[in-house]
C-alpha cells in the first residue's frame, strides 16, 4: 500500500462529512468491502456540490498567500464571493427545488439533497465567516498601510462628514424610494442580490401610520463604492461605501420619525433558467421572458449585517420563507463583490501582477497571410502566454478576402461588440455566407448572446440556435476558400471560448489547421448542427453526445489492458471538472490494473484518490493561480505511441451526454511534446497546486526541504513571454 493509500475496511471515507459532523449512512464505510470491489459503492464518490464548495475554499485560500500581490489577493477574496453567489443561485437552488417538489435525486455518492443542504450550510457558514475575518484582519489593514482605505463612518473627519452629507443630498436621496411597511404597502419584491436596508422607526407619519418598519432599497444605478476627493483626505486613495452614506443619513428619508436602527441585507434568489424544449416554439422569445424572471426567483439565502437584531433577522426570514440555516450574518458589506473597483485599481502596479505581452509563434511573426502559413503547417497556441490575436486576425482576413466564400462558427461566450462578432458582421455585409451557431443558454451570458445574435442577423448572417435541449459548447470555426479550381478548408478548434478578454485570463489551447480530414469532420459537425440527418462518420474528431464518451472509455480500458499485460501504462487528464460516473469507474478499473493516473482537475472532482485496492494509483491535483486553468487535455501513453486530444469538454454527465462537444487529436510530434511538457509542469507545480485526499479535503503542502519551488504559470510566462512574475 502506498503512503497515500487508504484502506476502506479500516477508515471512514466521507468528504461529505466535515470534521465534527455526523456521517450519512450512505457514506458509512465501517462495513467491510468484498475483495471484488463494487465500483458502484457510494463511498467511492464525492458529492458534486460539496466538491464545488471545496474549490471555492481553495480560491479563498489564495487571499492568504503572501507570495501573491495584495490587490490580487483581494481579487481572490472577491472571486470567492462571486463563486458563492452563483453556487447558491444555481446549485443550492436546484437542491432546494428537489426537496420542495419531493423529487430528490440521489447521485452516485448516495447523499440525498436534504442531507447535502445541511452539510453545505455548515461549510458555507464557516467559510463565509472566515472570508470576512480575512478581509477585516488581513486585507483591509494591509491596503490601508499602502494608502488604500475604505473609511468607515466612525472614522470620518468633520470635512468628510460634510462632503458625505452633500453627496447624499445631491446624488443619493433623490434616487431613493423608502417603503414603509403597512397593510397598503406590503413587503416589496426585491431584486436578486440587490442591496437593501431594513429600518426600525418610531412615531406616526403624516397619514397616521405607525407600523414601525420600512425597507430602503439602494438604487441599483449608484456605485456601491465612492472615492472621496483628495482635498478632504490625508493622502492615498480613500473610499466610502454607499451603505455607509445611507446609514449615516437614513433619518433624512423619514422626516419627523425617529430612526431606531438601520441594517443592510441582501437576498439571493434562484437564478437558473427553466425552459421546457417541448413547449418552446421560439427559443429567443422564451429566453427573453425567462431572463426577467431570473431577477425574482425563489429565495435561497439571506445575508444581513451581524449587528442586525435577532427579531428583525427572523422577520426577514419569514418574509422570504427561509430557515434559520439559510441566514448569514456578516461582519462587513453584504455585497462584497462591489469592491472589485479597488481590486482593479491601476495606480498601484506594485500591488498587482506585473503586466506581460503574449508571445507569437515564430511562424506567425512576420506574415500577413495566415492562410499561407496554416496551409503549410498546423499552428498550436497556448493562451494567454501566446496571443489570441491570430484567431481574430484569421477571421478578419477571411472577412475581407475575396477568395473566402463561407465562414461558420460556434459562439458560446463572447460579447456582442467583440472583434470576433465585428469580423463576422463585416463578412456577412461583404456578401460571404456566414453561419453562426449561437448558444443562447450559456448561463449568465444569455442576454449578451441574444444581442449578438440579433446583430448578426441584421448584418445578413444565418444564425442558428443549435439543437433544442442540447447546448452547443464546442469551440470551432470553419472557413472555405477558393484556391484555383479547389475549395480549401481552414479550421480553428479550441478548448476555450471566442472571447478576447478571457483569452488574457484563462489558459486554453487553440489549433489552427488545414488538415483535410479534420476540416471535413468540422464541416460534418456543422452540418449536423444546422441540418437534419443521422450521425455522420468522422475520421478524427470525437464529438459528444455521440462518439466522445465511448471513445474515452475505450482509451482508458486500453491503458488498463496494457498494464495487465505488463506494459507501461499511464493516463494524464487535465480538466475543469470530473463527475461522470462511468468515466470515474473506468479510471478506478485502470488504477486497479496498475495504470498510473494523474488528474489535473481545477474544480469539481467526484473521484476519490488514494483508496487502497481501488485508486491508490490515482493522484488528483488542482492548480489555482494568476490564470484560470481552463484547458482540457486527454493524454494516453498507448504503449509508446501517445494519443493526445484537446477538448471543449469536461468529463461531466452534461458535457458528455447533453452537449455538443469536440475533442480533436494532436498528431504532430513537436506539438505533442509541447503539450506533454506543459502537463509535466502542472504535475511538478508546488506553489499553486493542492492535492485531493481520499476524505475529499485538499492539502497544499509546501515544497519539501531542498526541493526547488516550481510555479507552473510563472515558468510558462518566463519561458514563452520572457516575463518576470514578481514572486
Task: List the catalytic residue out of 14, 247, 249, 473.
Answer: 473
**658 annotated ligand binder:** no
Cα dist. 321→38, 267, 325, 350 in Å? 42, 11, 12, 47
Distances from the Cα of 13 to the Cα of 419, 604, 616, angstroms: 50, 17, 14
CA atoms of 120 and 257, how far apart (whole Å)? 42
- Measure the CA–CA gap between 350 and 375, rounded to whole angstroms: 44
Residue 696: Cβ-neighbour burial (10 angstroms; 0-12, 13-18, 19+) = buried
Query: What CA–CA distance (Å, rounded) separates 228 from 239?
Result: 6
Report d(CA 306, CA 49) in Å as an integer. 27
Write out the three cell numbers for 189: 419584491
Task: State yes or no: 443 annotated in a binding site.
Answer: yes
Q: Is residue 413 annotated as involved in ligand binding?
A: yes
Joined grid coordinates for residue 249: 443619513
Q: Do the Cβ atoms of 630 and 133 come closer than 8 Å? A: no
Three-state SS string over 97-151 comes to HHHHCCCCCCCCCCCCHHHHHHHHHHHHHHHHHHHHHHHHHHHHHHHHHCCEEEC
Residue 506 known to bind ligand: yes
- 473 classed as catalytic: yes
Orientation of helix 242-249 relative to helix 158-167, angle to 10°: 90
* Backbone phi, psi, residue 132, to 5°: -70, -30
User: Which DSSP letter does residue 185 get?
Assistant: B
Reported for 525-531, long-range contacts at CB under 8 A and 24+ positions apart, including other chains, are: 525/474, 525/476, 525/660, 525/662, 526/408, 526/435, 526/437, 526/476, 526/478, 529/410, 529/437, 529/464, 529/466, 529/467, 529/472, 529/660, 530/435, 530/437, 530/462, 530/464
Measured distance CA(556)–CA(566) in Å, rounded: 16
Is residue 630 marked as binding? yes
Do residues 542 and 69 make contact, with C-beta atoms less than 8 angstroms apart? no
Q: How far is Cα 82 from Cα 102, in angstroms, rounded to an integer?
A: 29
DSSP state of 199: E
CA proximity to 316, closest of 211, 198, 219, 202:
198
Q: Is the dihedral of CA 513, 518, 520, 525 positive or negative?
A: negative
CB 342 within 8 A of CB 71: yes
Please state the residue numbers annotated as binding site for Mg(2+).
Answer: 413, 443
Output the known binding site.
Answer: 83, 413, 443, 506, 602, 630
**Residues placed in the known binding site for ATP:** 83, 506, 602, 630
- The residues that are catalytic are 473
Amino acid at each position: 500500500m502506498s503512503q497515500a493509500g487508504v484502506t476502506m475496511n479500516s477508515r471512514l471515507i466521507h468528504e461529505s462529512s466535515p470534521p465534527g459532523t455526523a456521517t450519512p449512512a450512505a457514506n458509512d464505510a465501517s462495513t467491510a468491502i468484498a475483495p471484488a470491489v463494487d465500483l458502484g459503492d457510494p463511498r467511492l464518490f464525492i458529492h458534486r456540490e460539496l466538491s464545488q464548495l471545496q474549490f471555492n475554499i481553495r480560491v479563498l485560500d489564495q487571499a492568504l498567500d503572501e507570495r501573491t500581490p495584495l490587490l490580487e489577493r483581494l481579487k481572490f477574496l472577491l472571486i470567492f464571493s462571486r463563486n458563492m453567489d452563483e453556487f447558491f443561485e444555481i446549485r443550492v437552488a436546484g437542491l432546494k427545488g428537489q426537496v420542495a417538489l419531493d423529487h430528490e435525486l440521489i447521485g452516485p455518492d448516495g447523499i440525498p439533497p436534504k442531507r447535502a443542504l445541511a452539510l453545505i450550510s455548515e461549510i458555507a457558514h464557516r467559510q463565509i465567516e472566515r472570508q470576512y475575518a480575512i478581509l477585516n484582519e488581513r486585507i483591509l489593514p494591509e491596503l490601508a498601510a499602502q494608502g488604500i482605505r475604505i473609511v468607515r463612518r466612525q472614522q470620518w473627519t468633520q470635512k468628510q462628514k460634510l462632503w458625505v452629507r452633500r453627496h447624499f443630498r445631491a446624488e443619493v436621496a433623490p434616487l431613493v424610494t423608502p417603503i414603509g411597511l403597512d397593510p397598503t404597502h406590503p413587503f416589496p419584491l426585491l431584486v436578486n442580490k440587490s442591496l437593501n436596508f431594513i429600518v426600525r422607526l418610531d412615531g406616526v407619519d403624516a397619514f397616521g401610520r405607525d407600523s414601525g418598519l420600512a425597507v430602503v432599497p439602494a438604487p441599483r444605478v449608484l456605485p456601491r463604492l465612492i472615492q472621496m476627493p483628495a482635498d478632504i483626505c490625508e493622502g492615498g486613495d480613500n473610499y466610502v461605501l454607499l451603505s455607509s452614506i445611507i446609514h449615516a443619513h437614513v433619518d433624512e428619508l423619514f422626516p419627523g420619525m425617529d430612526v431606531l436602527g438601520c441594517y443592510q441585507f441582501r437576498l439571493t434568489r434562484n437564478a437558473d433558467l427553466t425552459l421546457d424544449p417541448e413547449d418552446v416554439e421560439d427559443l429567443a422569445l422564451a429566453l427573453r421572458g425567462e431572463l426577467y424572471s431570473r431577477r425574482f426567483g425563489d429565495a435561497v439565502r439571506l445575508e444581513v449585517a451581524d449587528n442586525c437584531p435577532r427579531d428583525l433577522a427572523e422577520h426577514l426570514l419569514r418574509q422570504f420563507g427561509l430557515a434559520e440555516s439559510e441566514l448569514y450574518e456578516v461582519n462587513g458589506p453584504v455585497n462584497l463583490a462591489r469592491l472589485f473597483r479597488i481590486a482593479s485599481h491601476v495606480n498601484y502596479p506594485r500591488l498587482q501582477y506585473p503586466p506581460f505581452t503574449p508571445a507569437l509563434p515564430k511562424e506567425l511573426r512576420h506574415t500577413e497571410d495566415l492562410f499561407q502559413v496554416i496551409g503549410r503547417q498546423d499552428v498550436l497556441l497556448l493562451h494567454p502566454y501566446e496571443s489570441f490575436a491570430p484567431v481574430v486576425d484569421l477571421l478578419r482576413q477571411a472577412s475581407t478576402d475575396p477568395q473566402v466564400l463561407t465562414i461558420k462558427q460556434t459562439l458560446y461566450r463572447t460579447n456582442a461588440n467583440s472583434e470576433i462578432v465585428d469580423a463576422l458582421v463585416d463578412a456577412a455585409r461583404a456578401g460571404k455566407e456566414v453561419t453562426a451557431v449561437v448558444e443562447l443558454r450559456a448561463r449568465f451570458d444569455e442576454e449578451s448572446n441574444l444581442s449578438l445574435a440579433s446583430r448578426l442577423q441584421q448584418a445578413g448572417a444565418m444564425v442558428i440556435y443549435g439543437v433544442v435541449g442540447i447546448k452547443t459548447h464546442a469551440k470551432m470555426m470553419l472557413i472555405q476558400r477558393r484556391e484555383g479550381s479547389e475549395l480549401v478548408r481552414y479550421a480553428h478548434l479550441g478548448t476555450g471560448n471566442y472571447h478576447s478578454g478571457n483569452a488574457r485570463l484563462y489558459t486554453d489551447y487553440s489549433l489552427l489547421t488545414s488538415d483535410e480530414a479534420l476540416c471535413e469532420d468540422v464541416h460534418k459537425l456543422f452540418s449536423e448542427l444546422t441540418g437534419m440527418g443521422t450521425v455522420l462518420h468522422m475520421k478524427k474528431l470525437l464529438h459528444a453526445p455521440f462518439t466522445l464518451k465511448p471513445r474515452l472509455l475505450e482509451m482508458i480500458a486500453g491503458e488498463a489492458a496494457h498494464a495487465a499485460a505488463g506494459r507501461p501504462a499511464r493516463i494524464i487528464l487535465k480538466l475543469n471538472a470530473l463527475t461522470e460516473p462511468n468515466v470515474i469507474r473506468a479510471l478506478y478499473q485502470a488504477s486497479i490494473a496498475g495504470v498510473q493516473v494523474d488528474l489535473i482537475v481545477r474544480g469539481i472532482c467526484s473521484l476519490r484518490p488514494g483508496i487502497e485496492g481501488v485508486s491508490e494509483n490515482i493522484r488528483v491535483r488542482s492548480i489555482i493561480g494568476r490564470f484560470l486553468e481552463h484547458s482540457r487535455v486527454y493524454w494516453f501513453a498507448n504503449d509508446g505511441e501517445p494519443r493526445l486530444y484537446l477538448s471543449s469538454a469536461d468529463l461531466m454527465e452534461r458535457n458528455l451526454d447533453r452537449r455538443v462537444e469536440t475533442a480533436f487529436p494532436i498528431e504532430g510530434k513537436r506539438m505533442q511534446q509541447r503539450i506533454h511538457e506543459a502537463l509535466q509542469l502542472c504535475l511538478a507545480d508546488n506553489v499553486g497546486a493542492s492535492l485531493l485526499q481520499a476524505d475529499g479535503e485538499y492539502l497544499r503542502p509546501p515544497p519539501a526541504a531542498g526541493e526547488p519551488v516550481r510555479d507552473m504559470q510563472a515558468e510558462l510566462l518566463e519561458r514563452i513571454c520572457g516575463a518576470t512574475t514578481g514572486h
